[in-house]
Amino acid sequence: MADRIQGNDADCACKEGMFPQRRRFLFGAGTAAALAASRRAEATPNVPPDPTRVQGRATGTDGGYGARSPFETAHRILGPVPNSQTTWTFTPLADQIGNTTASGLHYERHHAGIPAIDPDRHSLTVHGLVNEPKRFTMADLKRLPRVSKRHFIECSGNTGGAYQNLPMKTVQVSHGLLSTSEWTGVPFAVLAREVGIAPNAAWVLAEGADAAVMTRSIPMEKMMRDAILAYGQNGEAIRPEQGYPLRLLLPGFEGNTHIKWLRRLQVSDKPFMTREETSKYTDLMADGIARQFVFTMEAKSIITFPSGEMKLPGPGFYEISGLAWSGRGRVKTVQVSIDGGAAWHEAALNETPQPMCTVRFTLPWRWDGKPVNLQSRCIDETGYVQPTHADLLRARGVNFYYHYNAIYPWTIAADGSVTHVAA
């Protein structure tokens, strides 16, 4: 059973004069935005002509699939590549607008490359402890009742390097194995009624059609509660790197359990003890014993502005912004500290929190130009409080890598430069 780590209680205090009047804040924010825009224009050698004096490009020149503006440059970056068949990419969280990740910027993690699968030849077999084993084509699945829900997926290794204080200079590198999409597909519970689940069924083996034949054992209780066999993402078909034509979606569970290119579900009365849940994806505790089947991604948050390798142009008014999420359910509160955790201030949530979904938080702030330590912490609806780095080390030791969810501070120097200072 996963350990529950409760952060230290602190008063959520608001110092008098800390938050500016809205008019002054908007003026300061507008000034900063104008300065940034001016600098971008100066840095662009090929300034386009006045758009009011030239005909714009014709409709249909994008090949029938809309293209983003050439002035938008947010992109995923590659992680270390041990070999040509093992890769991952990081979502540019600092560039994300709102609370949904564009499909083309969703992080990737593959174990044997991205397979090319013809959906007309792909199928899903459900067998094992069932009354009537069945094979479902993609056409079969799309005829069944569907749901569309927004959830995050987070790699269990996201921010894992922080255990060893490895250098992670930007929020894209430190937390970029996290993305949020609207997923569309068939609830597993619908298929369960089609095949009839045996009374002693307790686990389901999910298997992918990639060269790694990725497999994970999933508790039946989770499958019946909210698992989705997803074929849609953000209003279109899932992209190949996200499991086209079909992936398993398990809200709040670690990313490697969301099996991509899903082709088989085998029902059993016990877990299957595959490679990915014995030699891999286990948590080694300080006493040498490994935790196994630790699925839930605990409450977590990160400030995305200002964040690593950014530089504030000078003292003035800013809006601290970031993302918070919890695999336990809804985010209840996000608190921000501007003094290294001595006092905490409640941030505004930009939308009503949804279960197992990220939410954007903001806090207006006036920087006086002095060095400052910014950090955030998430409290979810179960009462779980995002822990500190020291809390995790006391509970788990230094041999951990997966499921790191500690508070991650940013330090702003007097010159405005932003860095992460290891604990």
- What CATH number has the domain bearing residue 324? 2.60.40.650
| DSSP assigned state of 57 | P
Domains: count for the chain: 2
**Domain range spanning residue 325?**
297-419
Instruction: Tell which of 234, 259, 291 closes a domain.
Output: 291
Residue 322 sits in the same domain as residue 391:
yes
Give me the residue label for tokens 């390798």. 309
Query: For position 82, what pLDDT does the model report?
Result: 54
Query: For position 210, what pLDDT does the model report?
Result: 94
Whether 26 is in a domain gets the answer no
pTM greater than 0.85: yes
Residue 231 sits in the same domain as residue 359:
no
Query: For position 28, what pLDDT does the model report?
Result: 46
Give the CB-side neighbour count of residue 65, counting CA atoms within 13 A.
2
59, pLDDT greater than 70? yes
Query: For position 45, what pLDDT does the model report?
Result: 58
75, pLDDT greater than 80? yes
Residue 309 sits in the same domain as residue 186:
no
Residue 256 sits in the same domain as residue 313:
no
Residue 130 sits in the same domain as residue 202:
yes
83, pLDDT greater than 60? no
More confident site: 48 or 301: 301
What is the per-residue pLDDT across 192-235, written as a single tens digit (0 to 9) for each?
999 999 999 999 999 999 999 999 999 999 999 999 999 999 99
Query: For position 164, what pLDDT does the model report?
Result: 76
Phi first, then psi, for residue 155 (nearest 5°) are -65, 140
11, pLDDT greater than 80? no
Residue 237 sits in the same domain as residue 255:
yes
Whether 355 is in a domain gets the answer yes
Query: For position 30, what pLDDT does the model report?
Result: 47
Per-residue pLDDT, averaged over 276-284, amounts to 89
Instruction: Tell which of 257, 291, 325 closes a domain.
Output: 291
Instruction: Tell which of 268, 291, 314 closes a domain.
Output: 291
- Strands 134-137 and 147-154 turn out to be unpaired
CA–CA separation, 110 and 260 (whole Å): 9
Q: What's the full length of the chain, in residues?
A: 423
Percent of the chain at pLDDT above 90? 71
65, pLDDT greater than 80? yes
Q: Which residues pair with 265 in a beta bridge?
A: 126, 206
Per-residue pLDDT, averaged over 303-323, amounts to 97
Per-residue pLDDT, averaged over 373-398, amounts to 94
Average pLDDT, the chain: 89
Task: Give the closest residue to 360 by CA, choosing from 123, 21, 39, 98.
Answer: 98
Phi first, then psi, for residue 129 (nearest 5°) are -80, 70
Task: Tell me how crowded residue 179 is: count the other CB atoms within 10 A of its CB.
Answer: 26
- Residue 319, class by beta-carbon neighbours within 10 Å (0-12 exposed, 13-18 middle, 19+ buried)? middle
CA–CA separation, 48 and 419 (whole Å): 35
Residue 241 sits in the same domain as residue 332:
no
Query: For position 270, what pLDDT does the model report?
Result: 97
Query: For position 125, what pLDDT does the model report?
Result: 98
Residue 273 sits in the same domain as residue 396:
no
- Find the helix or strand (DSSP H, E) in which 25 lies: helix 22-43
Query: For position 165, what pLDDT does the model report?
Result: 76
Which range is most confident: 60-69, 166-175, 277-286, 341-350?
341-350
Residue 244 sits in the same domain as residue 360:
no
3-state secondary structure of 263: strand
Whether 398 is in a domain gets the answer yes
- Strands 331-337 and 372-380 turn out to be antiparallel
Whether 311 is in a domain gets the answer yes
